A and B are shown apart, each in its own frame.
Chain A
């Protein structure tokens, strides 16, 4: 069966510091991968998605970037965090066919101070 992991679970970082959040999927090959942010009162926002290694699509201009160095690994990064980067970050995967449901990881709570 498929499993999706995210770490760390929680993170407190000062403004201006770098960020690296990791997501890995087990039990499936060539999944579509997604990064979402859930901020209070703003719902769930798609940040990046990837259909393959090295293929990243960005949904909104922002202070963040994403990379997919391996088939089942998705990384969310920032060189310098802003206060507005605080939120709950969720990684998700779906089958490579492009249809069907997405499955979400447990999330990372990021607080920028």
Chain B
């Protein structure tokens, strides 16, 4: 079965600093999804990557999928307190009829003022 490993598991950064979260798959990624979750709330969709080498940005968050499609990174530039939360990556298992995702364990991001 496909597994996703996220690193680091937790991250504490000073406000204004850049940071990177990684998501590594044991198998080829056909679709890679990044979500953000605040404690006790639902997941908010950030970005989806499908093509090897693809890169997408939204405000100060950039996500990339490597050429081999087995690793993705999420980069935050000039972090702000609003970026704090849990970031999860999810992989599309490519099952016909329904989109089934398997998720990494999450990375807990804390931003210190």
Contacts and interface: CB of A to CB of B under 8 A. Distances in A.
Interface of A: 6, 32, 43-44, 46, 49-51, 57, 88, 90, 92, 94, 98-107, 109
B103 A44 contact: yes
A90 B33 contact: no
A43 B104 contact: yes
Given A44-B106, A99-B92, 5 more contacts: A43-B104, A46-B102, A100-B48, A102-B45, A102-B90
B41 A106 contact: yes
Chain A interface, >50% SS class: strand
Contacts of B104: 43
B45 A103 contact: yes
Chain B: interface size category? 20 to 34
Contact of A101 (B33, B97, B105, B106): B33
Interface in B77-113: 88, 90, 92, 95-106
Contact of A106 (B42, B48, B95, B96): B42
Interchain residue pairs A-B with the least CB separation, the first 8 = A104-B42, A44-B103, A104-B43, A43-B105, A106-B42, A101-B45, A32-B98, A94-B99
5 contacts: A101-B45, A102-B33, A102-B45, A106-B42, A107-B42
B52 interface: no
Contact of A99 (B31, B40, B88): B31
Nearest to B46: A101
Given A90-B43, A104-B43, A107-B42, A46 B101 contact: yes
Given A99-B31, A101-B33, A90 B42 contact: yes
A86 B95 CA distance: 29
